[in-house]
Structure 1
Amino acid sequence: MRHPSRTRALLCGLLATMLVALSPAAVAAEKKSFRIAWSIYAGWVPWQYIKESGLMKKWADKYGIEVEIVQINDYIESINQYTAGEFDGVTLTSMDALSIPAASGVDTTALLIGDYSNGNDGIVSKTATSIEALKGTSIHLVELSVSHYLLARALDDAGLRERDVTLVNTSDADIVSAFQTRDVTTVVTWNPLLDEVASMPGSHRLVDSRSIPGHIKDLTVVNTDTLRDNPALGKALAGAWYEMMADLGADTDTGIEMREFLGTVSGTDRAGYEAQLAGMYMFWKPADALTFYSSEQAFEAMDSVRHFSFDHGLLGEGASDADFVGISFPGGKVLGDSGNIKLRFDTTYTQMAADGKL
């Protein structure tokens, strides 16, 4: 379940910065043991399968290292711990990668793009049948999350602004029950909550994340300095991930058993997990991810995300504009300050996987 999780609150950003300041800086150097944190969401639970199936050990052994895969129940806490140097990598959205570790000065590499939301996030209303009809109404959502970003994009496309509606910050744990009350007419949320509210009598699904393909990305990131000094980590993670992906999407006994396992881990069943997979554009093969990494779509999506992040104060008090944090892409393309690159979309290890060189 996507919990308060996919939220980026200012307080969390400040906490992350404090953690970095108060904790001993992680010394980037060659080492043999690594820790990767993940939290529950359909795009990230495969790491639990990678752990329990022995895939991680297989690939780590190949490169003479140890990789511990650790589940953290609180999504934001997992990112804060990564930012503080307690983990070498973490799973998170591209927006949170920019606005928490990168904005806090932690040079971070997007090692793997697993998927992007392609229907798993949406806007549902009991009274409106169009985005334009939301003008003057109240909308319940987790503020400063990807739900907030989706709403901002939808309003803009309809010629409206956030000031034309009233946002009501609501925990994802309360979204469904709130929508069942008379006073709450419109919500923005993610699956499986999205399908639940959309199935209620009289509900209208106005817009979902299919309208912004590539904008809400699920990543596995690692500390850039650690990766630079320990390429074995990148090879082991990419190798384990793409071996898993080859089975996850397959209509085989192994694929079915895997999806049943991941459904249980996600708190649902195989059908529920498969329904969530259907709302994501999955990069099943490394070649698919390579194409997306280098696309204008990916570049333009992050440009939009960084402007939203700056406009909503998510890049920190020191950011004078959206260019504050540099973001690099394959082929030498950069968004923002090229002298302050803190988020890197690096295809090195995905390319190795595509070439069969892992």
Structure 2
Amino acid sequence: MKTIKILTLTLALFSSTNALAKDKFSICWSIYVGWMPWEYGDSSGIIKKWADKYNIEIDVVQINDYIESINQYTAGQFDACSMTNMDALTIPAASFVDSTALIVGDFSNGNDGVILKDKKTLSEIKGQQINLVELSVSHYLLARGLESIGLSERDVDVVNTSDADLVAAYSTQDVTSVVTWNPLLSEIEKQPSAHKVFDSSNIPGEIIDLMVVNTETLNANPNFGKALVGAWYEIMSTMSNDVVLTHMAKASGTDLAGYKSQLASTKMFYQAKDAVSFTKDPQLSKTMKYVAEFSFKHGLLGDGAPDAGFIGIETPTGVFGNPANIKLRFDPSFMQMAADGKL
């Protein structure tokens, strides 16, 4: 009887995996300095080249609304999507969609910042009104900044503001501080009253930009992961070419100088081995603990979440949270294949 049960379970698992096997995939991305390579990879034919190598098709779709792109991925309309580590936890993982960080592309190293109007130190933020996209990585950055000087969100007034309105809002008399990301950050910094008092370079490695893939889809179709990773690192090998960077700049709405400026405050992992090392570092698990605690405090892990560890987050150095409820996985194995020249 026991043998029959095991055989039945094995067949069920095989059938489930087989049902997910396919040869056509779709990924989505939104405009950000670290994700423009996906647009170039699509328009240059590099992604098609790698898809052809593995006898699959990959449709690459730009979605202008970043959060909407993640929502569509979470709803199953895309197999993979570009997003930050925090959003990967609070949207798909919190919605019980098991997801894998296939590619760790970069981390923000100054691309996100806190700006005060006519004030020059972070300590002067106490009591101020802070305009930002609430519950975004900007909100997380603010919380980490306040924590660094012994303050908390109770010491400021957070005002939810659309990213599309932040530049205009800063120019009004009532707005005394904003927290945002590039290219909006650079636009606001041009104002003579603007002083950047804290940015993501003060918390290096905490705001991470990823290509996230549905875990079941990846497990059933490893060639999909191989094609994406192979294409990504071929694109990375072109990033010293100004013609390529000019293409990315234009596609993102800036010029070469503007795009290079954004790259300067982005820690890109151009080499697969560097992304693997970052992912295998024990610090990643500590970072995700910070992110989970912030997310739980703000109710982003779901109504039924009893604590910050409700969702299990798997990294190469262990699991933070509930090992029986792992919904976000940092798996460097495909990047390791790229590093080893095995794709």
Aligned to 1:327: 313
Matches within 5 A, 1:282-321: 282-321=268-307
CA deviation string 1:63-114 (max 9, x = no partner): 1111111111221121111111111100111100000000100000000011
Which residue type is aligned with residue 257 of structure 1?
A: V
Matched, 1:357 2:315: no
> Taking structure 2 as the reference length, what is the TM-score of the superposition?
0.93
Partner of 1:279: 265
Q: CA deviation at 1:230?
A: 0.5
Q: Secondary structure at the match of 1:124?
A: strand
Structure 2 counterpart SS, 1:247: coil
1:149 corresponds to: 140
Contact 2:188–2:194 (Cα < 8 Å) also in 1: yes
**Structure-1 residue corresponding to 2:327:** 342
| SS of equivalent to 1:163 | helix
TM-superposed CA distance for 1:27, in Å, is 8.6
Counterpart residue type for residue 264 of structure 2: A
Match in the other structure for 1:17: none
Code of the residue aligned with 1:291 in structure 2: it is: S
Q: What residue number does 2:46 align with? A: 55
2 CA distance for matches of 1:306 and 1:246? 34
Which secondary structure state, in structure 2, belongs to the residue aligned with residue 339 of structure 1? Answer: helix
| CA spacing shift, 1:320–1:26, aligned 2, 3 Å | farther
Give the letter for the 2:255 counterpart: D
Q: Distance in 2 between matches of 1:80 and 1:214?
A: 25
Could you tell me which residue of structure 2 aligns to residue 14 of structure 1?
none
For 1:80 and 1:126, locate their aligned partners in 2 and report how far apart those are by CA, in whole Å. Answer: 34
Residue of structure 1 equivalent to 2:5:
none
Q: Secondary structure at the match of 1:125?
A: strand
Percent of pairs with identical residues: 58
Aligned residues: 328
| Cα distance in 2 for residues equivalent to 1:29 and 1:139 | 46
Cα distance change, pair 300–28 in 1 and its aligned pair in 2 (3 A): farther
* Structure-1 separation of matches of 2:268 and 2:91: 25
Deviation at 1:272, TM superposition (A): 1.1
TM alignment of 1:179-328, pairs within 5 A: 179-248=170-239, 250=240, 255-328=241-314
Q: Please list every run of 5 or more consecutive structure 1 residues that lacks an aligned counterpart in the other structure.
A: 1-24
Instruction: Work out the CA distance in 2 between the residues paired with 1:356 and 1:53.
Output: 22
**Match of 1:64?**
55
Question: Which residue matches 2:29?
Answer: 38
Rounded to whole Å, the distance in 1 between the matches of 2:198 and 2:250 is 29
Quick one: distance in 1 between partners of 2:174 and 2:331?
A: 47
Is this contact kept in 2: 1:28–1:225, CA < 8 A?
Answer: no
Of 119, 122, 129, the match for 1:131: 122
5+ residue gaps, structure 2, are: 1-15
Deviation string 1:110-155 (CA, Å, 9 cap, x unpaired) is: 0001110000010111232222211111111111111100000000
User: Residue 91 of structure 2 aligns to a residue in which SS?
Assistant: helix
Contact 1:323 1:337 in 2 (8 A): yes
* 2:6 aligned partner: none
TM-aligned CA distance change 1:357 to 1:27, over 3 Å? closer
Displacement of 1:186: 1.0
Q: Quick one: distance in 2 between partners of 1:167 and 1:130?
A: 18
| Distance in 2 separating the partners of 1:184 and 1:26 | 53
The aligned amino acid for 2:310 is F
Aligned equivalents of 2:77, 2:132: Cα separation in 1: 31
Whole-angstrom CA distance in 1 between matches of 2:51 and 2:165: 41
Deviation at 1:28, TM superposition (A): 5.5
For the 8 Å contact 1:28–1:226, the answer to whether it is kept is no
Q: Tell me what 1:122 maps to.
A: 113
